[in-house]
Chain A
């Protein structure tokens, strides 16, 4: 456990050692605000909720989370520090989980800085704060799932640009797994059961379900399993590719 904390602290502080962290947070807040007010018509709707704010989160994450996650392992491999990290007395999963949690916490920090919009809506009207809290939880979980995918793909290559693009593509597929765009690809040849299973993988559906204000166990389990699966895959990929 203490090893995870040590890796976590090093990783998180490395985000703030360079301008990357500040650039990311500023862009995240700017885009979140722009989408909410201009595309989401936050004021014009005249409703005291944060639906227009949260509706855009999946699309924001689609590009911003891969940007955070692309360096997770590809940079370690490129600079050779992976050799340092993995010859220290820590296990592979401690390294994978520690680094993942640091990146996740970093996105969490960016998310926390969106609090003025909650204060605004609370000041202007009387929103259902339970729903808003649930949406925040859902949003954070979804970011975690995106990030776990990014972690795995980042382990596949030492080129961060490739990691970024592949992660965006895979995340996009998961995001829209319940939509015809993705399902049509499978429905032509795969049995109905498989198609149903794929449609059940949609990030959007699970996020939408949580942001209605009901944090259901099945959604929590879904995101938990997704993160666990991709982190496990990360460890496997790192083990296979570290010699390259």
Chain B
């Protein structure tokens, strides 16, 4: 369990994190979204016990991260931004070191190390210095050290940054597999990831929480929520047909692929009406889709005007 109360970090004049409060229960994966410099990493660093809060507090499994730092850190697995590791060490030696610091010993230590090596497919590179590995492998070594002690709480700062699509998929599957009994915070820029792994999303900008909801709830804030998109051979005829539907507020045509989107009036559902109108007008449609809402658009709307570069 993670709890923060009015967590704040100031650097002189600059307020990087401004009174963030939330509570996260086991079995939940929280996605931290926000523009660069929004305060995502700073918040995670404070929860991980690396930076001391200027004011407010955070606790991990009931242990305050300042007053009871060692106990809090014991509960925690942390992947810092950029997945740093000791370049001259091999992944095997590095994982042994982390296991030792984490207090694992004997058969348990061997079993845990073998397990994370297996899970993150590190077998092929075990004895190569980490600095010679590709970005994807470095990231996986970083993830391996974060989970080697099977922590209750995981804080992952951009865990899929620099991975190829297959590796991203694997890491998401890994997070989902661990999500059942752990408390996990993931920060990301990739909005599709929020759908793939998160049960809750917090959008922050300029150090403040601007939205705190499930991904589905966030999508309902999109103007694309309940909109209908379609591709038709005869674009003007289709547009004509759509604009006659009573609950359609606006019709837009994508200048690139000529895909047509009809937006409903607030609170209305237009899918059935649109479908009927098209058939009545005899417009041939090659594809028709009900939109659930676009997170990237919600993200832009929420963070707009507050996306200035500040301290990460």
Residues of chain A at the chain B interface (Cβ within 8 Å): 3, 6-7, 9-10, 13-14, 17-18, 79-81, 83-84, 86-91, 242-243
Residues B88 and A87 in contact, CB atoms below 8 Å apart: no
1/0 per residue, CB under 8 A from A, across B58-86: the answer is: 00000000000011011010101110111
Contact indicator B86/A14 (Cβ below 8 Å):
yes
A82 nearest CB across to chain B (Å): 8
Q: Is the interface of A mostly helix, strand, loop or mixed?
A: helix
CB distance from B60 to the nearest CB of A (A): 11
Chain B: minimal CB distance from A78 (Å): 10
Known: A6-B101, A10-B97, A89-B73. A84 touches B89 (CB 8 A): no
Contact with A along B127-162 (1 / 0, CB 8 A): 001000000000000000100000000000000000
B78 touches A87 (CB 8 A): yes
Selected contact of A79 from candidates B50, B74, B87, CB within 8 Å: B87
Looking at the complex, which one of B87, B100, B145 makes contact with A84 (CB distance below 8 Å)? B145
Is B50 a contact partner of A80 (Cβ separation < 8 A)?
A: no
Q: Are A84 and B88 in contact (CB under 8 A)?
A: no
> Is A14 touching B80 in the complex (CB atoms < 8 A)?
no
Closest to A95 in B: B101
Binding site for A on B (CB under 8 A): 11, 45, 48-51, 70-71, 73-74, 76, 78, 80-82, 84-89, 93, 97-98, 100-103, 129, 145
Shortest CB distance B14–A (Å): 12
- Name the contact of B98 in the complex, choosing from A13, A14, A88 (C-beta under 8 A): A88
Residue numbers in B under 8 Å from A79 (CB-CB)? 84, 86-87
Most buried by B among A7, A79, A80, A89: A89
Residues of A within 8 A of B51 (CB): 242-243
Compute how far the CA of A7 lies from the CA of B101 in the bound complex, rounded to whole angstroms: 8
Contact A17 B49 (CB under 8 A): no
Q: Known: A83-B50, A89-B73, A89-B74. Contact between A6 and B100, CB under 8 A?
A: yes
Assess the B84–A87 pair: CB atoms within 8 A: no
Q: How many Å from the CB of B277 to the closest CB on chain A?
A: 58
State in angstroms the CA–CA spacing of A13 and B100 once bound together: 15
Told that A84-B84, A89-B102 touch, could you supply 18 new A-B pairs with CB distance under 8 A?
Answer: A6-B97, A6-B100, A14-B89, A17-B89, A79-B86, A80-B82, A81-B85, A83-B50, A83-B80, A84-B80, A87-B48, A87-B49, A87-B50, A88-B98, A88-B101, A89-B103, A91-B70, A242-B51
A49 to chain B, nearest CB (A): 41
CB distance from B73 to the nearest CB of A (A): 4
A83 neighbours in B (Cβ, 8 Å): 45, 48, 50, 80, 84
CA distance A84 to B81 in the complex (A): 10
Measured in the bound complex, the distance between the Cα atoms of B216 and A95 in whole Å is 45
Those 7 A-B pairs whose CB atoms lie nearest each other, nearest first:
A80-B84, A83-B80, A17-B88, A89-B73, A6-B100, A89-B74, A87-B48
- Whether B101 and A243, one on each chain, are in contact in the complex, defined by CB atoms closer than 8 angstroms, is no
Q: State the CA gap A7–B102 with chains docked (Å).
A: 12
Residues of chain A contacted by B70 (CB below 8 angstroms) = 89-91
The complex places the Cα of A17 from the Cα of B81 at a distance, in Å, of: 25
When the two chains form the complex, which single residue of B84, B89, B102 contacts A88, counting CB atoms closer than 8 Å?
A: B102
Q: How far is the CA of A78 from the CA of B154 in the complex (A)?
A: 24
Q: Tell me the complex Cα distance, A91–B87, Å.
A: 23
The smallest beta-carbon distance between A73 and chain B, in angstroms, is: 14
Are A243 and B11 neighbours in the complex by a CB distance under 8 Å? yes
Within the complex, the shortest CB–CB distance from A120 to chain B, in Å, comes to 36
Partner of B86, one of A3, A10, A88, A242: A10
Cross-chain contact of B85 among A6, A84, A90, A243 (Cβ < 8 A): A84
B93: nearest residue on chain A (CB-CB)?
Answer: A13
Instruction: Enumerate chain A residues within 8 angstroms of B71, measured Cβ to Cβ.
Output: 89
A3 touches B129 (CB 8 A): no
Query: Can you offer 21 A-B residue contacts whose CB atoms are under 8 A?
Result: A6-B97, A6-B100, A6-B101, A7-B101, A10-B97, A14-B86, A14-B88, A17-B129, A18-B88, A79-B84, A79-B86, A80-B80, A80-B84, A84-B84, A87-B76, A87-B80, A88-B102, A89-B102, A90-B70, A242-B50, A243-B51
Question: A3, A14, A84, A88: which has the most chain B beta carbons within 10 Å?
Answer: A84
Rounded to whole Å, the gap between the CB of B166 and the closest CB of chain A is 26
Q: Find the A residue at minimum CB distance from B131.
A: A79
In the complex, chain B residues whose CB is within 8 Å of the CB of A86: 49-50
- Which residues of A have CB within 8 Å of B76? 87
